[in-house]
Amino acid sequence: MNKPAMPNSFRTGPDEQGMFGIFGGRFVAETLMPLILDLEEQWNKAKTDPEFKAELQNLSTHYAGRPSKLYFAEGLTKHLGGAKVYFKREDLNHTGSHKINNCLGQILLAKRMGKKRIIAETGAGQHGVASATVAARFGYPCVVYMGATDVARQSPNVFRMKLLGAEVRPVTAGHGTLKDAMNEALRDWVTNVEDTYYLIGTAAGPHPYPELVRDFQSVIGTEARAQILEQEGRLPDVIIAAVGGGSNAIGLFHPFLDDKDVRIIGIEAGGRGLDGIEHCASMNAGKPGVLHGNRTYLLQNADGQIMDGHSISAGLDYPGVGPEHSWLRDSGRVQYEPILDDEALEAFQLTTRVEGIIPALESAHAIAHAMKIVPKMDKDQIVIVNLSGRGDKDVHTVANMLGMEI
């Protein structure tokens, strides 16, 4: 494939149609078009409104706990014996990951639009919990669509959502996973156009979602950039983040995209290897197609059927990826690499032992890549890894993988 021409800036997308090059757009039912256009208009007003920004800022500080720290991971740095490793500590946020950044932004948008009801989709349940959290905080009824298979394997998160007052609707269509839950949420939205706000959990979906989720998550990169300049007096050499749908990654990456000396690496779930079908590496092993209202790289079989991915980490288990990542991949600005289940598991254990931090398995994928490249780098070089969340939620999975009983 021909590479698209290099733009002057990588930070100007999407265009008016919501396209990042050939990716993105809004491939939705005609009945949804007015809603999508309304959302776009309201978002365009909100993002430049000082009052909206002030309210989000206030909640981010006092409710979510921002700014998150940029932490020098001295133990890991010593252990690896190369570049200095820093963690951007999104694990310290309220509800334990970066997801609250997006949920706070979108609930304020829903409020501004006068919506009365929140719907969301969730795979592992992390976004469901974050959505139920902000719905509780703002007094909205909340319905969370979740694949029936996921409901069965993520019972603690299902219980959390119920405690927070949300209704969890199991989806039995398809394989009962995230893709099916997302379809069901879109269906609900079409049926309840007037009063319902659809709170999408990652930088995917029809335009303007990829843009607005990115902008809410860009607080990660904006803070990290300022923090490293203050702590080290210069920009990092490499930044790394795990890519599920791609929201924590684009949030870290976006403010650095025009810093051409900063190497940017996104990590996909390599699962049990890219040779078979047990992975979730849509950009390394997928093809462009349309899913959930946008054109992007997807896991598909030879007939173009969307396949269910596999990852040790439920949060990386999405068969597509946000469209901006697809564009950044093809333009060559960001490099996307797979990390296997076993490698992530090793990074999880190492980080826990040498840093006293239990990382989310998603984040452990990013750390695992740092473990590969850091030893080959100079001691005066700097790597920032996005610690997208904490790993308390993953201890059962890890115990299982290690053949241990809790």
Ligand X SMILES: *Cc1c(COP(=O)(O)O)cnc(C)c1O
Q: What is the spatial distance between Cα 367 and Cα 54, in angstroms, rounded to a whole number?
A: 34
- Our finding on whether 389 is near ligand X (CB under 6 A) is yes
List, in order, residues 6 or more apart from 313 with CB less than 8 Å away.
242, 269, 344, 360, 361, 362, 364, 365, 394, 397
> Secondary structure of 307-369 in the HEC alphabet?
CCCCCCCHHHCCCCCCHHHHHHHHHCCEEEEEEEHHHHHHHHHHHHHHHCCCECHHHHHHHHH
Angle, to 10 degrees, between the axis of helix 99-112 and the axis of helix 126-138? 40
Identify which range of 175-183, 224-232, 244-252, 334-342 contacts ligand X by CB under 6 A. Answer: 244-252
Q: What is the spatial distance between Cα 328 and Cα 336, in angstroms, rounded to a whole number?
A: 9
Bridge partner residues of 78 (DSSP): none
Q: What is the spatial distance between Cα 115 and Cα 274, in angstroms, rounded to a whole number?
A: 43
- Our finding on whether 242 is near ligand X (CB under 6 A) is yes
- Our finding on whether 245 is near ligand X (CB under 6 A) is yes
Identify which range of 2-10, 188-196, 240-248, 254-262 contacts ligand X by CB under 6 A. Answer: 240-248
Strands 19-20 and 263-271: unpaired
Q: Mark residues 82-111: x for contact with ligand X by CB under 6 A, - for none.
A: ---------------x-x------------
- Our finding on whether 196 is near ligand X (CB under 6 A) is no
Number of residues that bind ligand X (CB under 6 A): 19
User: Closer to ligand X at the Cβ: 217 or 227?
Assistant: 217
Chain positions 1 to 40 lying near ligand X, rule: CB under 6 A, are none
**Least distance in angstroms from the C-beta of 102 to ligand X:** 8
**Least distance in angstroms from the C-beta of 360 to ligand X:** 4
Identify which range of 7-15, 35-43, 287-295, 356-364 contacts ligand X by CB under 6 A. Answer: 356-364
- Our finding on whether 360 is near ligand X (CB under 6 A) is yes
User: Closer to ligand X at the Cβ: 242 or 368?
Assistant: 242
- Our finding on whether 388 is near ligand X (CB under 6 A) is yes
User: Closer to ligand X at the Cβ: 339 or 360?
Assistant: 360
Question: What is the DSSP-derived secondary structure letter of residue 61?
Answer: I
Identify which range of 187-195, 247-255, 285-293, 302-310 contacts ligand X by CB under 6 A. Answer: 247-255
CA distances (Å), 88 to each of 8, 347, 389, 392, in order? 28, 16, 10, 18
- Our finding on whether 309 is near ligand X (CB under 6 A) is no
- Our finding on whether 247 is near ligand X (CB under 6 A) is yes
Q: Helix-strand-coil percent breakdown of the chain, rounded to 5?
A: 45, 20, 35
Query: Please, what sign has the CA dihedral across residues 293, 294, 295, 296?
Result: negative
User: Closer to ligand X at the Cβ: 270 or 389?
Assistant: 389
- Our finding on whether 177 is near ligand X (CB under 6 A) is no
What residues are labeled active site? 99, 121, 388
- Our finding on whether 220 is near ligand X (CB under 6 A) is no
Binding site for ligand X (CB under 6 A): 97, 99, 126, 202, 242-249, 315-316, 360, 362-363, 388-389
